[in-house]
């Protein structure tokens, strides 16, 4: 088997997550790692067991590297994705695709022109029961969709001493909670329901108007507390919490809440979709079960099991029922579809995986939500 050789750019939380998922695909080899300096790239590559290490410019010159994973801070996504496409590489980019719509539009057009495989890492679509909800909706089991109630709650920025590059607009953009986790929520909403969001009304809250930025290196979730003199006070302009009312193209409504300051909620996405026949409820903290609500008979719990889900969902499940699958499996299942396309050498006409066009769509929605919060008014998408 001639393996597809891959280069991964960036070694924060998500870079190694990509690497772990890629290593579970038999036709893929993580051949190279890239960081901001050759020294750091070598250090990280050695730690992760990757033979070759480069700076970004050097990585693009490697003729045997067919695909590039962009796992860097947000402000680098546009320039690095563009450079990789121009170098003839297939690109899998972390979200957001870019910092603004004009950059994202350029990437969509460039990707289409090259014909190269392009994907954005909206991996949460690949929880098997998310696809099951989509499949059941497509088969008419949900009926007309009446409402969507969603939330995505975390606590990793709960304290004023919690700090990360995502708090800095020049690196992350003008929106934080919505752009970071709300984008996953808006993507999976439209993916499952088939609806388009046509208008938004947003209200943001910055709980910590000032945060204490560590003057020494400290890892997210490490629990290490520094001394008062080890911090610098930094004003915060992006949202810790947001509520958004939604209007859909079928005339009905929805609401989402996102928060990065909800104590005890480590990474909880919850979806409740109510239709004219049933209600679906699913939560990422218990991803292997789905609640199905009925009016005139007992409610049901569907467990993730390849023998119980719809036939078109089974490809997202590797293990038998009762053998739980979770967050790391979502990236593996997404990359499985992406690399089937890369093996063919071009972007499919109707990709099953999220593309640069999907990345553009989520940026558009996020920008309209940001505009709505500033105006404190409904904004049409």
- Concatenating the DSSP letter of every residue in 277-316 gives S-EEEEETTSTTEEEEE-SSS--EEEE--TTTS-GGGGGG
Instruction: Give the pLDDT of residue 171.
Output: 85
- For the chain, helix (H) and strand (E) counts, in that order, are 11, 17
Poorest-confidence range of 145-154, 209-218, 364-373? 209-218
Confidence of residue 215 (pLDDT cuts 50, 70, 90): confident
Which H or E run contains 204? strand 197-205
Mean pLDDT within 255-266: 98
Confidence of residue 214 (pLDDT cuts 50, 70, 90): confident
- For the cut 60, the answer to whether the pLDDT of residue 223 exceeds it is no
- For the cut 80, the answer to whether the pLDDT of residue 219 exceeds it is no
Instruction: Give the pLDDT of residue 222.
Output: 52
Mean pLDDT within 280-309: 98
- For the cut 90, the answer to whether the pLDDT of residue 67 exceeds it is yes
Mean pLDDT within 252-279: 98
Instruction: Give the pLDDT of residue 228.
Output: 74
Instruction: Give the pLDDT of residue 371.
Output: 97
Q: Count of CB atoms within 10 A of residue 334's CB?
A: 24
The reply to whether 134 belongs to the active site is no
- For the cut 80, the answer to whether the pLDDT of residue 190 exceeds it is yes
Closest CA to 123 of 337, 331, 360, 353: 331
Q: Which tens digit of pLDDT belongs to each residue from 94-116?
A: 999 999 999 999 999 999 999 99
- For the cut 60, the answer to whether the pLDDT of residue 221 exceeds it is no
Partners of 268 in beta bridges? 153
Partners of 235 in beta bridges? 210
Q: Which tens digit of pLDDT belongs to each residue from 6-37?
A: 999 999 999 999 999 999 999 999 999 999 99
Instruction: Give the pLDDT of residue 216.
Output: 73
Q: Which tens digit of pLDDT belongs to each residue from 139-169?
A: 999 999 999 999 999 999 999 999 998 999 8
Sheet holding 118-120, edge to edge: 52-54, 28-34, 4-9, 67-70, 90-93, 118-120
Dihedrals φ, ψ of 328, to 5°? -60, -30
Domain boundaries, the chain: 4-116, 125-326+355-380
Total-model pTM: 0.93
Closest CA to 160 of 215, 227, 233: 233
Residue from 42, 82, 89, 95 carrying the catalytic annotation:
95
**How confident is the prediction for the chain on average, in pLDDT?**
95
Under CATH, which architecture does the 4-116 domain have? 3-Layer(aba) Sandwich (3.40)
Instruction: Give the pLDDT of residue 122.
Output: 98
Q: How far apart are CA 209 and CA 306, in angstroms?
A: 48
Whether 85 contacts 105, CB under 8 Å: no
What percentage of the chain carries pLDDT values higher than 90?
91
125-326+355-380 carries CATH number 3.30.360.10:
yes
Q: How far is residue 9 CA from its own chain's centroid?
A: 17
Confidence of residue 4 (pLDDT cuts 50, 70, 90): very high
Instruction: Give the pLDDT of residue 227.
Output: 76
Burial of 139 (0-12, 13-18, 19+ CB in 10 A): exposed
Instruction: Give the pLDDT of residue 314.
Output: 97
Mean pLDDT within 47-71: 97
Confidence of residue 218 (pLDDT cuts 50, 70, 90): low
């Amino acid at each position: 088997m001639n393996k597809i050789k891959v280069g991964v750019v960036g070694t924060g939380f998500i870079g190694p997550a990509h690497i772990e998922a890629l290593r579970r695909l038999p036709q893929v080899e993580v051949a190279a790692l890239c960081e901001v300096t050759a020294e750091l790239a070598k250090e990280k590559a050695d730690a992760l067991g990757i033979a070759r290490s480069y700076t970004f410019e050097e990585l693009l010159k490697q003729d045997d590297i067919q695909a590039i994973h962009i796992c860097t801070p947000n402000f680098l996504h546009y320039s690095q994705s563009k450079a990789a496409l121009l170098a003839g590489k297939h690109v899998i980019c972390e979200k957001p695709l870019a910092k603004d719509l004009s950059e994202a539009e350029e990437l969509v057009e460039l990707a289409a022109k090259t014909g190269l495989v392009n994907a954005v890492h909206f991996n949460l679509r690949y929880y098997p029961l998310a696809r099951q909800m989509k499949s059941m909706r497509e088969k008419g089991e949900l009926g007309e969709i009446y409402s969507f109630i969603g939330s995505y709650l975390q606590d990793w920025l709960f304290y004023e001493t919690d700090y990360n590059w995502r708090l800095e607009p020049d690196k992350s953009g003008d929106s934080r909670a919505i752009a970071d986790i709300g984008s996953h929520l808006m993507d999976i909403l439209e993916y499952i329901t088939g609806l388009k969001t046509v208008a938004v009304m947003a209200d943001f809250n910055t709980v910590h108007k000032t945060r204490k930025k560590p003057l020494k290196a400290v890892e997210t979730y490490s629990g290490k507390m520094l001394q008062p003199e080890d911090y610098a006070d930094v004003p915060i302009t992006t949202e810790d919490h947001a509520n958004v009312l939604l209007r859909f193209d079928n005339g009905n409504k929805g609401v989402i809440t996102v928060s990065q300051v909800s104590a005890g909620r480590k990474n909880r996405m919850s979806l409740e979709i109510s239709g004219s026949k049933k209600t679906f409820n699913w939560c990422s903290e218990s991803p292997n079960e789905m609640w199905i609500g009925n009016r005139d008979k007992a409610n049901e719990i569907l467990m993730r099991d390849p023998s119980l889900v719809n036939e078109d969902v089974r490809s997202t499940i590797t293990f038998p029922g009762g053998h739980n699958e979770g967050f790391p499996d979502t990236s593996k299942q997404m990359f499985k579809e992406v690399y089937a396309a890369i093996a063919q050498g071009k972007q499919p006409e109707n990709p099953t995986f999220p593309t640069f066009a999907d990345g553009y769509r989520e940026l558009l929605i996020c920008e309209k939500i940001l505009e709505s919060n500033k105006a404190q008014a409904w904004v049409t998408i």
